[in-house]
A = this chain, B = another copy of it.
Amino acid sequence: MRNIKLVMEYDGTDFIGWQQQLEDRTIQGELIKSLQSLSQESPTIYGAGRTDSGVHALGQVANFKTASSLSDDSIKNGLNFYLPKDIQVISAEEVSDKFHARFSAKSREYRYCISRRMKAIGRKYSWFCKYKLDLEKMKQASEYLIGSHVFSAFSKYNEKEKHYLSDVKYIEWHDENEEITMEISANRFLHNMVRIIVGAMIEVGRGKLQPVDIQKILKSGKRENACYTVPPHGLFLYKINY
């Protein structure tokens, strides 16, 4: 059996999320249907990270085993032929048998787009924030999150989670064309972690919290001390590093 690595882009708007469900439209589900049409096989497809309903991806990675002898390009083009327009396979590549999209990943990068203006064009790809934001304070606040910390205050409680440790490698901010983008890289992300961090950063940016409050919230470990979860449509799974 060959092990195939896919890099994919998708528009999360009309999906209930990555993970296959019995009735709802999911990225994994559409991918399985397309693979069945292409190769008459139904392998398990492993994704690097689950994305929630409405969350987009520019570089989601998945892998699956196949007995097919189709070339890498034929797998890519064949899948794109069967896939709906809101999912695109960017590349397909045969990789070592040991490669696993989720467990082999060293780090993941997400981006969150905050729009300073209510937009009609591209309104499903950024979240409009009505407050005037002090970006310098947001940058200062995000520095407290860099490094290895217990992120229970910045994640949704999940009884299956063994621990809430995450090693945040960097948080970078860009501000152009009326859009603020936060880029965050970490070895792992807990459920809703990026969206809860952005919610807290907004509170700092609008002056409701001071940058140092982020450190206090982090240390408290309590979700109720952090703020709201910003909407999914500003969030992009950007890249998986191996």
- A102-143: which residues lie under 8 A (CB-CB) from chain B? 118-123, 125
Q: Which stretch from A33-41, A84-92, A224-232 is at the chain B interface? A: A84-92
Q: Which of B11, B58, B85, B121 contacts A9 (CB 8 A)?
A: B121
Could you say which residues of chain B place their CB within 8 Å of the CB of A236? 121
How far does the alpha carbon of A90 sit from the alpha carbon of B190 in the complex, in Å?
38
User: A18 an interface residue at 8 Å Cβ cutoff?
Assistant: no
Interface flags, A46-70, vs B, CB<8A=1, else 0: 0000000000101000000000000
Pairwise interchain contact A11-B123, C-beta atoms closer than 8 A:
yes
Pairwise interchain contact B88-A11, C-beta atoms closer than 8 A:
no
User: A10 an interface residue at 8 Å Cβ cutoff?
Assistant: yes
Q: Which of B88, B121, B123 contacts A120 (CB 8 A)?
A: B88
User: A80 an interface residue at 8 Å Cβ cutoff?
Assistant: yes
Could you say which residues of chain B place their CB within 8 Å of the CB of A87? 120
Q: Which of B56, B80, B119, B121 contacts A121 (CB 8 A)?
A: B56
Could you say which residues of chain B place their CB within 8 Å of the CB of A122? 122, 125
How far does the alpha carbon of A88 sit from the alpha carbon of B117 in the complex, in Å?
10
Could you say which residues of chain B place their CB within 8 Å of the CB of A11? 120-121, 123
CB distance from A180 to the nearest CB of B (A): 18
How far does the alpha carbon of A10 sit from the alpha carbon of B122 in the complex, in Å?
10
How far does the alpha carbon of A236 sit from the alpha carbon of B85 in the complex, in Å?
21
- A75-101: which residues lie under 8 A (CB-CB) from chain B? 80, 85-88
How far does the alpha carbon of A205 sit from the alpha carbon of B208 in the complex, in Å?
54
Q: Which of B9, B85, B121 contacts A125 (CB 8 A)?
A: B121
Pairwise interchain contact A85-B123, C-beta atoms closer than 8 A:
yes
Nearest B-chain residue to A27, judged by Cβ: B120
Pairwise interchain contact B80-A9, C-beta atoms closer than 8 A:
no
Q: Which of B56, B88, B120 contacts A85 (CB 8 A)?
A: B120
Task: List 8 additional A-B contacts (Cβ < 8 Å) besides A86-B120, A88-B119.
Answer: A10-B120, A58-B121, A85-B120, A85-B123, A86-B123, A121-B125, A121-B236, A122-B125
Q: Contact residues of A with B, CB < 8 Å?
A: 9-11, 56, 58, 80, 85-88, 118-123, 125, 236
